[in-house]
Amino acid sequence: MMALVRPQFVLFGDSITEQSLRPGGWGAALADTYSRKADIIVRGYGGYNTRWALFLLNHLFPLSCPTPPVAATIFFGANDAALLGRSNQRQHVPVEEYKENLRKIIDHLKECLSSMLVVLITPPPVDEDGRKEYARSVYGEKAATLPERTNDMTGVYASECVQLAEELHIPCINLWSQMQQTPGWQKKFLSDGLHLTAEGNNVVYKGVLQVFNNAHLCAEEMPYDFPHHSEINGDQPEKVFQQKI
């Protein structure tokens, strides 16, 4: 089995997606797993909320694209859930709008390719102590005393994300809830109370992989692009390429 063109999986989200290409990141791990099977295209935009993400849709996913991605993860909410009246309020998006923005993103992707596997990922939980420590490490005495995000409020956004996935019958990884089932999640999975450690990245990687596997996008079962070298006849190399291409 072989393929001529590798399918694309796009990871669309905020900083947690943008940073996924770092060593130990979930995007890097997916790229390795799908080596010669699919291209992992990272479209993560640090600091973005769903309202700002809408401005990118037609550019990142033009409706006229002849080869749209076959799968996409949508991973927003950590910034939408920033609280009003706190240091990051510029990023705040009301929860009802967050849900509707996610719906618009999904509608757009399905319009690109109705069979696209669209996977929602909720924001991870917030460790408020970790955020305070981080703020002190950056701003010292001037650090805001009130957290700019709370775990409870982020949980409200996560819950809307899960509900939307159920409504639309698409898969969803409830990271907010899943991570909190592990004792010590605050330091184990989060590096600064919000972004992911290597172990936190691994939770996302495994979650995405499971959804892809369930949706017949299992790397082991996907064809290589072009013949494995052992299939090439040294004396007549053109044969396998002519047959299969």
Q: Which of 15, 159, 177, 191 is catalytic?
A: 15
Does 175 participate in binding a second copy (rule CB under 8 A)? no
35 sits near a second copy (criterion: CB under 8 A): yes
Interatomic CA distance for residues 245 and 242, integer angstroms: 6
Q: Does 18 bind a second copy (CB under 8 A)?
A: yes
* Per CB under 8 A, 89 contacts a second copy: yes
Cβ-based nearer residue to a second copy, 214 or 223: 223
85 binds a second copy, rule: CB under 8 A: no
| Burial readout 23-53 (b: 16 or more C-beta within 10 A, e: otherwise) | eebbbbbbbebbeebbbbebbbbeebbbbbb
Binding status of residue 237 toward a second copy by CB under 8 A: yes
Q: Which two tokens stand for residue 72?
A: 């996409």
Active site (annotated) includes residue 159: no
- Does position 51 interact with a second copy (CB under 8 A)? The reply is yes
Distance (Å, whole) CA 131 – CA 181:
20
Residues 95 and 155: their CA atoms lie apart, in Å, by: 11
Q: Give 124's DSSP letter.
A: P
Based on the shown chain and the rule CB under 8 A, indicate whether residue 84 belongs to the binding site for a second copy: no
Asked if 41 interacts with a second copy (CB under 8 A), we say yes
Shortest distance, position 67 Cβ to a second copy, whole Å? 12
CB 160 within 8 A of CB 50: no
Extract the tokens encoding 191.
């590096």
Q: Given the rule CB under 8 A, which of 101-109, 121-129, 162-170, 228-236 is the region that contacts a second copy? A: 228-236
Q: If we measure between CA atoms, which residue out of 73, 212, 87 comes closest to residue 138?
A: 87
Q: Is residue 139 involved in binding a second copy (CB under 8 A)?
A: no
Q: Which is nearer to a second copy, 68 or 155 (CB)?
A: 68
Provide, rounded to whole angstroms, the least separation between the CB of residue 81 and a second copy: 15
Decide if residue 192 touches a second copy (CB under 8 A): no
Pairing relationship of beta strands 71-75 and 117-121 according to DSSP bridges: parallel
Question: In sequence order, what E strands does the chain have?
Answer: 2-3, 8-13, 39-44, 71-75, 117-121, 172-173, 224-225
Q: Crossing angle, helix 26-33 and helix 198-214, to 10 degrees?
A: 40
Least distance to a second copy, CB of residue 14, Å:
9
Quote the CA–CA distance of 120 and 172 in Å, as a whole number.
5
Instruction: Rank residues 1 and 5 by Cβ distance to a second copy and give the closer one.
Output: 5
Q: Which of 115, 220, 229, 243 binds a second copy (CB under 8 A)?
A: 229
Binding site for a second copy (CB under 8 A): 4-5, 18-19, 21-25, 28-29, 31-32, 35-36, 39, 41-42, 44-48, 51-52, 55-56, 59, 89-91, 226, 228-230, 232, 234, 237-238, 241, 245
Residues tagged active-site: 15
